[in-house]
Amino acid sequence: MAMSDKIEEKLYQNRYRVDEGCPHVRIDASKVPSEQLKAMVDICPAGCYVEGENGKVEVVPDGCMECGTCRIVCQETGELEWAYPRGGYGILFKFG
Ligand code: SF4
């Protein structure tokens, strides 16, 4: 099988076990989105963040790679609750 350089194709190799109703990344919707949070729409490598029509930023962490980028970028804004998924859930990396 030929190696591909496209990130979308590499991400497709990953598998996820979604913890329904228990997202491991949450946004405090009571706050006005900071520039850091808005930047996550472009920065998140898995495309988990979207900006809605109302200007609010939403996160759907089902395809999260647990890289921690959003946790670090938004560390000082206090808008994110971030934790690793419960055992047995989250990303399943395929090696080899
Ligand atoms: S941890 Fe990484 S992949 Fe997951 S939502 Fe944050 S930036 Fe995206």
11 in a structural domain: no
Burial class from Cβ neighbours inside 10 Å (0-12, 13-18, 19+) for residue 66 reads middle
Q: What average pLDDT does the structure give for the chain?
A: 90
Distance (Å, whole) CA 80 – CA 21: 17
12 in a structural domain: no
Would the pLDDT of 79 be above 70?
yes
Q: What pLDDT score was predicted for residue 8?
A: 79
> CB of 25 within 8 A of CB of 77?
no
Q: What's the 66 CA to ligand 1 centre distance in angstroms?
A: 5
Q: What average pLDDT score do residues 5-10 get?
A: 78
- Vertex 29: Cα angle to 85 and 86 (nearest 5): 10
**Number of structural domains found in the chain:** 1
Q: What's the 23 CA to ligand 1 centre distance in angstroms?
A: 12
pTM of the complete model: 0.86
**Residue range of the domain that includes 29:** 21-92
Place of tokens 């076990």: 17
CATH code of the domain covering residue 45: 3.30.70.20
Each residue's pLDDT tens digit, 60-76: 999 999 999 999 999 99
Q: What pLDDT score was predicted for residue 51?
A: 94
